[in-house]
Amino acid sequence: MPDPVLTEASSQVAAGRAVAPIVKAMFDEPTNTVTYVVHDPETRRAAVIDSVLDFDPASGRTRFRSAEAVIAYIRGHNLTVDWLLETHAHADHLSAAPYLQKALGGQIAIGEHIVTVQQTFGKLFNAGSDFRRDGSDFDRLWKDGDRFAIGHLSASVLHVPGHTPACIAYVIGDAVFVGDTMFMPDYGTARADFPGGDARTLFRSARRILSLPPQTRLFMCHDYLPAGRSQYAWESTVETERRSNIHIRDGVTEDEFVAMREARDATLDMPRLILPSVQVNMRAGRMPQAEDNGVAYLKIPVNAI
Ligand SMILES: N[C@@H](CCC(=O)N[C@@H](CS)C(=O)NCC(=O)O)C(=O)O
Ligand SMILES: [Fe+2]
């Protein structure tokens, strides 16, 4: 089937090799998350992708060690932040986008289907009328095929649902920030058992990314250090993933993938931070409104998830 959005993204990748974006990866070991700062070397305009707010669920305390590291990098390299991009509403860490926005500026953006996620989790957490479920907590909502710029770098948006309904991959120059679609070849793919997730849809989204040119650089959102590897890793290519990804390399059929993914998902525990993460991330990384004592509370739904 012709896919005009992917055709456009492919020519962008080819052109993107002329002025490649500079990509800085910052790994958060407690949540196995990779935050990226991507910038245009000519104009020094930048985007931050998938930032992390440190959160200790035992004490309910937030800390800003990861966010401050991003701020130090941005200031140290004299960059101007235009975008604070989320690949999806993460279920395993809280976003630091509002904290970074206060310090650095930039617009907070996510996929337009965040409204579906907001409706699902708004209901689960019985959020009050102060919680807007129309995406308006974000500054920008992306559609498949949307294009934007980071200085002179071209960026475009691929809607890649499956892990969650709102997942986005960002194609920036010749680099793709794949979010939680696939991981390093020896780890495979993301789970598809969260509300609104679907293994068949995930397969199609991952294979769509793998239809980009073979040399396209792919940057993963997580690395879980599978047995047999001792160094964290997060960068791969279309060619490498097609040759050797244990779940979605060339030759694996959709039905084989779905059977494997659903069997594995049935064995997985919920992420340690899923309850705080989704309550905060559905609000673009902000805490629920403080109560009359000035304290914000996060809920734990009992036997509901
Ligand atoms: N043990 C981790 C699990 C995190 C997790 O479930 N990660 C998701 C991405 S948000 C995933 O796709 N994991 C893939 C897998 O374990 O197969 C935690 O508690 O945070
Ligand atoms: Fe995720």
Summarize pLDDT for 245-267 with one digit per residue, the tens: 999 999 999 999 999 999 999 99
> In this predicted structure, what is the pLDDT of residue 242?
98
Mean pLDDT of 114-131: 96
Residue nearest to atom 6 of ligand 1 (CA): 271
State if residue 30 touches ligand 1 by the CB under 6 angstroms criterion.
Answer: no
Distance 231 CA to ligand 1 centre (A): 18
CB 44 within 8 A of CB 151: yes
Closest approach atom of ligand 1 to CA 163: 12
Compute CA 32 distance to the chain's CA centroid, rounded to the nearest angstrom. 13
Residue nearest to atom 5 of ligand 1 (CA): 271
> In this predicted structure, what is the pLDDT of residue 178?
98
Q: How confident is the model at residue 226 (pLDDT cuts 50, 70, 90)?
A: very high
Kindly report the pTM of this predicted structure. Answer: 0.96
Mean pLDDT of 100-122: 98
Of the listed ranges 10-14, 196-200, 225-229, 298-302, the one predicted with least confidence: 10-14
> In this predicted structure, what is the pLDDT of residue 10?
87
Among residues of the chain, what percentage have pLDDT more than 90? 93
Q: Name 298's Cβ contacts closer than 8 Å, sequence gap at least 6.
A: 60, 275, 276, 279, 280, 287, 288
> In this predicted structure, what is the pLDDT of residue 16?
65
Best CA proximity match to 114, nearest among 150, 91, 88 = 88
State if residue 266 touches ligand 1 by the CB under 6 angstroms criterion.
Answer: no
Residue nearest to atom 9 of ligand 1 (CA): 190
Mean pLDDT of 154-179: 98
Distance 9 CA to ligand 1 centre (A): 28
Tokens at 245, concatenated: 């990804």
> Which residue has tokens 């979605």?
248
Q: In what order do the strands lie in the sheet with 153-159?
A: 147-150, 153-159, 168-172, 175-179, 217-220, 235-237
Residue nearest to atom 1 of ligand 1 (CA): 271
Distance 194 CA to ligand 2 centre (A): 9
> In this predicted structure, what is the pLDDT of residue 112?
98
> In this predicted structure, what is the pLDDT of residue 2?
85
Phi, psi dihedral angles at 237 (to 5 degrees): -135, 165
CB 97 within 8 A of CB 108: yes
Q: How confident is the model at residue 17 (pLDDT cuts 50, 70, 90)?
A: low
State if residue 93 touches ligand 1 by the CB under 6 angstroms criterion.
Answer: no
Q: How confident is the model at residue 72 (pLDDT cuts 50, 70, 90)?
A: very high
The chain-wide mean pLDDT, for the chain, equals: 96
